[in-house]
Amino acid sequence: MFGLYLGSVFPLRDLIRLLANAASLMAIVHVLVSLLLPSVGVMDASWEATGVYAGAWRGLTPHKNMLGAYSSMHALVLLFAILTFKDRMRWLYIAGFFLSMLSLYEARSTTAILILFMCVFIILVMKICQIFPNLAWTSILICLVFLPLICLSVFTDNFLADLFAMLDKNPQMSGRFPLWDLAISRVNERFWLGYGHEVFWDPDDLYVRYIAEKLRYSPHYSHNGAIETLLNGGFLLLLLLFFSYLASIYKSVRLVIKNPDKTIVILPLCFLVLFLLANLTESHVLARNNLIWALFVAMSFAALLELKNPMPCKRS
């Protein structure tokens, strides 16, 4: 409901202003807490047996990965605010952008950094599509068809192991692969409708205890948006999410193509890409008190309303 309110009440330009103000404030707070209150803002060795998380920033979030996800989102929003607004607030957005990048670096979240770089790549591709609109849909279709094929061709043999070694990452995605296997094995028992929202990970459930014994820690969710959606609402909910996401992508691409002189209209598409990539290793689908889920809803509605009521082109 919060996302629906944001997307339906605020035009895209006003929504970016609102988000940029909040992102600047949160970027400042995260850095100050991490530097001045390390007992709160910095993780210690107790989070993981090997102590690899020790020293990583978490700011006011519960975990470094969450700080990384929010910092990448803040940096993306602030980048668009810097490109859009030319008033005095732009200096605040510039400061917030660099502080967000600092938090992103200190959170040591490789996934969040790669997500931000992918969003910047999407911005460049969409700008090219705006300059050459006749090639827009062709370029998008090529990306949709050939990029997965390229990924399938290179993700063979020892490529993944070499990639994780280069990034200094655990080849099991910090224990996510075994967790995904154990969680997926229970999907078939409630394939169509799932177990109910946030019901599966009951710590008193026998199978959840079995998962905790196998992994040697107690998970509270599956660390993957698709798997968590299957557990919460089954295949029907995942199918609904899939078509909703495709419809949002289509509206966002149309919005970019129909407004070749406005960089601001690329944000909804970038955020949808961020949402998809963020759900590969975390779960933000229908999550409570989760800004990334709320903004997925907001950006989807903002793109739709912007198509129906285009905003005037402004410089400040």
Q: What would the pLDDT profile of 72-99 be if each residue is shown by its tens digit?
A: 999 999 999 999 999 999 999 999 999 9
- Contacts (Cβ under 8 Å, ≥6 apart) of 307: 251, 254, 255, 258
At 46 the pLDDT is: 67
| Pairwise pLDDT comparison (129 vs 236), residue with the higher score | 236
Distance from C-alpha of 62 to C-alpha of 215, rounded to nearest angstrom: 21
Q: How confident is the model at residue 178 (pLDDT cuts 50, 70, 90)?
A: confident
Nearest alpha-carbon partner for 228 in 184, 165, 270: 184
Q: How confident is the model at residue 2 (pLDDT cuts 50, 70, 90)?
A: very high
Mean pLDDT of 188-213: 92
Mean pLDDT of 240-249: 94
Residue 308 exposed, middle or buried by CB count within 10 Å (0-12, 13-18, 19+): exposed
Mean pLDDT of 107-126: 89
Please say if the pLDDT value at position 294 is more than 60.
Answer: yes
Residue 117 exposed, middle or buried by CB count within 10 Å (0-12, 13-18, 19+): exposed
At 134 the pLDDT is: 76
Residue written as tokens 């995260």? 30
Question: What is the reported pTM?
Answer: 0.87
Nearest alpha-carbon partner for 264 in 251, 250, 252: 252
DSSP 310: P
Residue percentage of the chain with pLDDT more than 70: 84
Q: Please, what sign has the CA dihedral across residues 261, 263, 264, 266? A: positive
Report DSSP letters for 270-289, one per residue. Answer: HHHHHHHHHHHHS--TT-TT
Please say if the pLDDT value at position 45 is more than 90.
Answer: no
Please say if the pLDDT value at position 146 is more than 90.
Answer: no
Nearest alpha-carbon partner for 227 in 191, 255, 273: 191
Please say if the pLDDT value at position 311 is more than 80.
Answer: no
Residue percentage of the chain with pLDDT more than 90: 57
Q: Mean pLDDT across the chain, nearest whole number?
A: 86
Mean pLDDT of 275-279: 91
CB 58, CB 67: distance < 8 Å? yes
Q: Of 12-21, 58-67, 212-221, which range is least confident?
A: 212-221
Distance from C-alpha of 112 to C-alpha of 89, rounded to nearest angstrom: 26
Angle (nearest 5°) at CA 258 between 295 and 265: 30
Q: Please, what sign has the CA dihedral across residues 196, 200, 202, 204? A: positive
At 316 the pLDDT is: 38
Q: Taking phi first (over 0 means left), then psi (-120 to 50 degrees means alpha), and beta for anything else, what does residue 223 get?
A: left
Q: What does the pLDDT look like over 5-36, one tens digit per residue?
A: 999 999 999 999 999 999 999 999 999 999 99
| Pairwise pLDDT comparison (111 vs 229), residue with the higher score | 229
Please say if the pLDDT value at position 236 is more than 90.
Answer: yes
At 177 the pLDDT is: 83
